[in-house]
Amino acid sequence: MTAHLSRRSLLGLAGAGAGAYLLSACSGDDKSSDPNAPQTINWWHIQNTEPMLPVWAAMANEYKTAHSNVTFTIQPLENEAFKAKLTTATQAGDPPDLFQSWGGGVLKQQVDAGLVKDLTDDVKDLVGGILPAAMGPYTIDGKIYGIPFDIGMVGFWYNKDLFTRAGITEPPTTWTALLDAVRKLKTAGITPVAIAGKDKWPAHFYWSYLAMRIGGVGALQKAVDDKNFDTPDLVAAGERLKELVDLQPFQKGFLGAEYGSPDGQAATMGNGGAAMELMGQWAPAVQASSSTSKKGIGDKLGFFPFPAVDGGKGTATEVFGGGNGFAVGKDAPAATIDFLKFLLSVDNQRRSAKTGAVLPTVKDATDAISDPNNKVVAETLAKNTGFQLYLDQAYAPALGQQINDSVAEIIAGKKAPAAILKDITQVAKTA
């Protein structure tokens, strides 16, 4: 009845609100383009634990010493806390100057909203030295909006002792062999797999990898382009995952477990409580820091790539992964990009690599990888024949989160794979 009128008045009110907000946003920040003017770089990163936390701090201090006009406000944040905090900041149109980014769909949304700086011209000299696979997620429509300092992949991290105790002589290379290994471990009274059900993203690795192995590396990109996930290959990936879930391979209380909490996925592995986990290159570092001994399981830890699936179109050399990088906020002071380049210098990449928590993206720094596990990951990564970025980063957030939620339903054994792919397709069509 009065819908038209009220809508208009609502519009007016919202417009007034937005106007007031824009006014307030205009004041405040020093937007000087002079790199020598006094400026403060507001930096949010997610390396909030040893070993990288002090390394970043030290690098910032060195930069500050060399450039007396620059000061830093550094906010190290836990992964989930960072995402929540950044969301609020970006929705308010006020991103930090330098901040963690995984590239992909989330970065694209920030680019579309005009929140991040186009770095294409500023980083020309830097990009040549960076691994091309790492740059992919940060390159949107041919322009560069972020720089990766770390690139890695997801694979199985396993406890060699527990595998031996269960009579498994070598790491499984096919899905069938993996299921066999799980059965053997269960028979030996060992928890086969640690997983963080509360966090959801660790579970989405399983379905994504299975989808790549069954449908080939392009299957996931094609699904999002076609807005159709309800394909035989992707449903099969869900059914294969259900085979694993049906063996009840996970640790006690896995649906409530977080990744990094004192009783979570990483701690379970680090304390020797489970035989394997499917996780990214940071796994050894987090296992160590969240274990009770603070050392993890040391050299008992091994790595094998996600196995192939019989009859699948994909191969075990195609990798699922991604990296960590930094994007630059739209109002960042001039020195920010220079500081980013400083962080990505060969020397500083070497220093980061030496901690074992970062796999460098600068080619000349890869020789500094000392940790044997990291070396395996770097070699596997170097030989990759195809690359897929984490889905919750590659896709738009609504779709990425839906995949996490839906895969969680398979892991909980509550919904049939065919049904969840219909749910995902529904979101892909509307999001």
- The answer to whether the beta carbons of residues 276 and 194 sit under 8 Å apart is yes
Minimal distance, residue 195 CB to another protein, in Å: 11
Minimal distance, residue 102 CB to another protein, in Å: 15
Ranges of beta strands (E only) in 219-358 are 276-279, 301-304, 318-328
Distance CA 263, CA 266 (A): 8
- Residue placing its CB nearer to another protein in the complex, 53 or 431: 431
Angle, CA 302 vertex, CA 299 and CA 304 arms, to 5° = 165
The yes or no reply on residue 25 touching another protein (CB under 8 A) is no
Residues shown for the chain? 431
Among 25, 81, 398, 418, binds another protein (CB under 8 A): 398
| Percent of the chain as helix, strand, coil, to the nearest 5 | 50, 15, 35
- The answer to whether the beta carbons of residues 32 and 334 sit under 8 Å apart is yes
Report the candidate in 408, 59, 74 with the shortest Cα–Cα distance to residue 241. Answer: 408
Distance CA 179, CA 290 (A): 28
Neighbours of 58 (CB within 10 A): 12
Structure letter (DSSP) for residue 368: G
Minimal distance, residue 312 CB to another protein, in Å: 28
Among 51, 218, 272, 397, binds another protein (CB under 8 A): 397
Among 38, 54, 262, 298, binds another protein (CB under 8 A): 262
The yes or no reply on residue 90 touching another protein (CB under 8 A) is yes
Residues 6+ apart with CB under 8 A from 214: 233, 234, 236, 237, 240, 309, 312, 313, 314
Among 29, 50, 263, 338, binds another protein (CB under 8 A): 263
- Residue placing its CB nearer to another protein in the complex, 41 or 410: 410
- The answer to whether the beta carbons of residues 226 and 305 sit under 8 Å apart is no
Report the candidate in 192, 145, 202, 141 with the shortest Cα–Cα distance to residue 326. Answer: 145
Minimal distance, residue 248 CB to another protein, in Å: 13
Among 57, 89, 396, 419, binds another protein (CB under 8 A): 396
Residue 30 amino acid letter: D
Minimal distance, residue 252 CB to another protein, in Å: 5
Minimal distance, residue 275 CB to another protein, in Å: 15
- Residue placing its CB nearer to another protein in the complex, 236 or 403: 403
Minimal distance, residue 255 CB to another protein, in Å: 4
- Residue placing its CB nearer to another protein in the complex, 255 or 346: 255
Minimal distance, residue 48 CB to another protein, in Å: 17
The yes or no reply on residue 13 touching another protein (CB under 8 A) is yes
Buried-state track 353-367, b at ≥16 Cβ within 10 A, e below 16: bbbbbbbbbbbebbe
Distance CA 105, CA 83 (A): 14
The yes or no reply on residue 18 touching another protein (CB under 8 A) is yes
Buried-state track 98-129, b at ≥16 Cβ within 10 A, e below 16: bbbbbbbbbbbebbeeebbbebeebbeebbee
- Residue placing its CB nearer to another protein in the complex, 113 or 418: 113
Per DSSP, the three-state class of 192 is coil
- Residue placing its CB nearer to another protein in the complex, 94 or 338: 94
Question: Between 265 and 294, how does the x/- string for binding to another protein read (CB under 8 A)?
Answer: ---x----x---------------------
Among 168, 195, 220, 257, binds another protein (CB under 8 A): 257
Structure letter (DSSP) for residue 90: H
Cis peptide before 51 (omega within 30 of 0): yes
Considering only residues 30 through 89, tell me which ones interact with another protein, judged by CB under 8 A. Answer: 83-84, 87-88
- Residue placing its CB nearer to another protein in the complex, 175 or 390: 390
Per DSSP, the three-state class of 250 is strand
- Residue placing its CB nearer to another protein in the complex, 10 or 58: 10
Residue 321: what are its φ and ψ, rounded to 5°? -175, -150
The yes or no reply on residue 14 touching another protein (CB under 8 A) is yes
The yes or no reply on residue 193 touching another protein (CB under 8 A) is no
Question: Between 401 and 420, how does the x/- string for binding to another protein read (CB under 8 A)?
Answer: xx-----xx--x-x------
Among 36, 61, 73, 91, binds another protein (CB under 8 A): 91
With CB under 8 A as the contact rule, which of the stretches 143-151, 334-342, 347-355, 394-402 interacts with another protein? Answer: 394-402
Contacts with another protein, residue ranges (CB under 8 A): 7, 10-11, 13-14, 17-18, 83-84, 87-88, 90-91, 109, 112-113, 115, 197-198, 200, 251-257, 261-263, 268, 273, 396-398, 401-402, 408-409, 412, 414, 431
